[in-house]
């Protein structure tokens, strides 16, 4: 099944508080968001995408980003590494004022999706990234390359478009890079083509992969990525998620499914499956759209 020896461990980054919550139609009360964030932090996760500092007009679900982040810092700073999403310089300024271990800037490999997502060209977003880098101080700066494999508007993405963004991001001095299957329509052949090109250009750089599960391919793509030496993955408790600016995008790969997969093949995540299932059950009770292969274990 695997062409190379399995690693002893992988790293999972919990993204439900940002990517999962933003897709929910009804506003999740701040106190309930905070309670879920606390529960996720107790699963053993080492890094969490806590919220995003975006315009409340664009994504009303994130209107309480400052309150959620302030709570996280009081209770979890120094215990769980935090990252918050920022779409632009204004978002960076808001995030830096509250404080987090890292800020994550988003730019799409596809011009059409970047325009839909940020109302900017890719070039304009990269220039904005330079501005963010100039003010971040000691805060780590990550970059998520959205639509790294396929765009809902333009179709398959040329791997060289991804390489070009990664090259410039590294030249700017970012601290981490995520390659995202934003639409969740990537297949193992498409993923392997791009990741092989990325590996040939950037060697063993420790990329994160952000894999949505729209077509049920997330875990198969995870296996293909592991064969190429990629061992850092995003997931969302309950399988919540979906990009508001990518038509047809469904949820993220569920944290409980990913942890279960790795446990079954003898790879450590440091995350307790029973605790993640408790989070998913709690979200089910709240009426959130839990969607995972293990969700049947979560009684409503």
Rounded Cα distance, 56 and 46, in Å = 28
Phi–psi pair at 20, nearest 5 degrees: -75, -50
Contact 112, 154 (CB under 8 A): yes
Query: How far does Cα 236 stand from its chain's mean position?
Result: 8
pLDDT for position 248 = 47
CA-closest candidate to residue 239, choices 249, 260, 222, 254: 254
Q: What is the full per-residue pLDDT of the chain (300 aa) written as tens digits?
A: 565 688 899 999 999 999 999 988 899 999 999 999 999 999 999 999 999 999 999 899 999 999 999 999 999 999 999 999 999 999 999 999 999 999 999 999 999 999 988 899 999 999 999 999 999 999 999 999 999 999 999 999 999 999 999 999 999 999 999 999 998 999 999 999 999 999 999 999 999 999 999 888 999 999 999 999 999 999 999 999 765 555 545 678 999 999 999 999 999 999 999 999 999 999 999 999 898 888 766 554
Strand partners, 235: 14
- Residue written as tokens 């970059």? 143
Rounded Cα distance, 275 and 282, in Å = 11
Torsion of CA 208, 98, 245, 107, to 10 degrees: -50
- Residue written as tokens 């220039």? 127
Question: Around Cβ 25, how many Cβ atoms within 10 Å?
Answer: 7
Cβ neighbours of residue 22 closer than 8 Å, sequence gap 6 or more:
52, 59, 61, 62, 241, 244
Domains and CATH numbers, the chain: 11-297 (3.20.20.70)
Contact 148, 157 (CB under 8 A): yes
pLDDT for position 227 = 94
Local structure of residue 128 (DSSP, 8 states):
H
User: Catalytic one among 16, 186, 243, 298?
Assistant: 243
Let me know if 186 is a catalytic residue. Answer: no
- β-pairing verdict for 232-235 and 11-14: parallel
- β-pairing verdict for 176-181 and 47-52: unpaired
pLDDT for position 259 = 97
DSSP per residue, 149-214: SEETTTEEPPHHHHHHHHHHHHHHT-SEEEEEETTS---HHHHHHHHHHHHHHHTT---EEEEB-T
């Amino acid at each position: 099944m695997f062409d190379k020896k399995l690693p002893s461990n992988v790293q999972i980054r919990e993204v439900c508080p940002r990517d999962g919550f933003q897709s929910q139609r009804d506003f999740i009360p701040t106190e309930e968001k905070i309670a879920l964030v606390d529960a996720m932090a107790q699963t053993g996760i080492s890094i969490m995408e806590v919220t995003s500092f975006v315009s409340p007009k664009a994504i009303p679900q994130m209107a309480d980003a400052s309150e959620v982040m302030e709570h996280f810092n009081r209770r979890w700073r120094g215990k769980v590494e935090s990252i918050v999403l920022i779409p632009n310089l204004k978002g960076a300024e808001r995030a830096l004022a509250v404080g987090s271990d890292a800020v994550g800037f988003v730019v799409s490999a596809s011009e059409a999706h970047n325009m839909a997502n940020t109302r900017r060209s890719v070039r304009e977003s990269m220039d904005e990234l330079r501005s963010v880098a100039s003010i971040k101080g000691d805060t780590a700066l990550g970059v998520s390359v959205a639509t790294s494999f396929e765009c809902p508007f333009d179709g398959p993405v040329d791997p060289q478009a991804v390489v070009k963004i990664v090259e410039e991001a590294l030249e700017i001095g970012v601290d981490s890079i995520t390659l995202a299957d934003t639409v969740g329509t990537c297949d193992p052949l498409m993923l392997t083509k791009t990741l092989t090109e990325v590996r040939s250009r950037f060697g063993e750089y420790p990329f994160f992969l952000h894999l949505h599960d729209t077509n049920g391919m997330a875990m198969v793509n995870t296996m293909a990525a592991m064969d190429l030496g990629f061992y850092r993955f995003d997931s969302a408790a309950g399988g919540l998620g979906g990009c508001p600016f990518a038509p047809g995008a469904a949820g993220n790969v569920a944290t409980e499914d990913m942890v279960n997969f790795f446990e079954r093949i003898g790879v450590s995540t440091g995350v307790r499956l029973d605790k993640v299932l408790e989070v998913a059950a709690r979200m089910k009770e709240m009426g959130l759209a839990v969607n995972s292969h293990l969700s049947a274990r979560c009684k409503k």
